[in-house]
Amino acid sequence: MGQSRFGNHSAQLQFKLPGVIGYQGMVIKVQANPNDLPLKQMLAQLYQQSAQEIAPEELLRQVELITVAGQPALKTSILPLNTEFSILFLHNNRVYIIAPVHGPSATGAAPEALALFDQILETVRLNP
């Protein structure tokens, strides 16, 4: 797991899947939320930081509300990652971003990788 001088953390997991060619895995990022922004505002801020433009309202509405580790979370495809979707949730003044990822040689996340991603996501537990 890497840590930036700003206290942001990231980890990548690579899945070794029989019969699946190319890189498949997941990324977990933890970033500070010092202003305690609500989830949708945090999503808008992350979009603006990565895309260098303000997120259009219609994009911000393209989210699915889910639950991760008992916390409300957003499932969205608007963040520019090499993935089909990202999941964001807040905990202790931090935003967690979890996403299945794949290498450029893959046309998308393999069903086996998505199944493993879902299994791992179900095991997420947070310390108070």
The DSSP string of 77-119 is S-S-SSSS-EEEEEETTEEEEEEEEE-TTSSS--HHHHHHHHH
Q: What share of the chain is helix, strand, coil (3-state, %, to 5)?
A: 25, 35, 45
pLDDT tens profile 7-51 = 789 999 999 899 888 889 999 999 999 899 999 999 999 889 888
Range of the domain at 11: 2-122
Residue 128 within a domain: no
Both tokens of residue 65? 């509300």
What mean pLDDT value characterizes the chain?
Answer: 89
Residue 127 within a domain: no
| Total count of residues recorded for the chain | 128
Q: Calculate the alpha carbon distances from 4 to 1, 29, 30, 32, 80 in Å.
A: 10, 11, 10, 11, 20
With a pLDDT cut of 70, the percent of the chain lying above it is 92
Contact 79, 70 (CB under 8 A): no
User: Tell me, what CATH number does 23's domain have?
Assistant: 3.40.1000
Both tokens of residue 86? 């990202």
For residues 113 and 78, which has the higher predicted lDDT (pLDDT)?
113
pLDDT tens profile 45-99 = 988 988 889 988 888 888 999 999 999 999 998 876 678 899 999 999 999 999 9
Beta bridge partners of 51: none
The count of domains in the chain is 1
CA angle 33, 87, 126 (to 5 degrees): 65
Instruction: Give me the pLDDT at residue 11, please.
Output: 92
pTM (2 decimals)?
Answer: 0.87
Rounded CA separation 7/64 (Å): 28
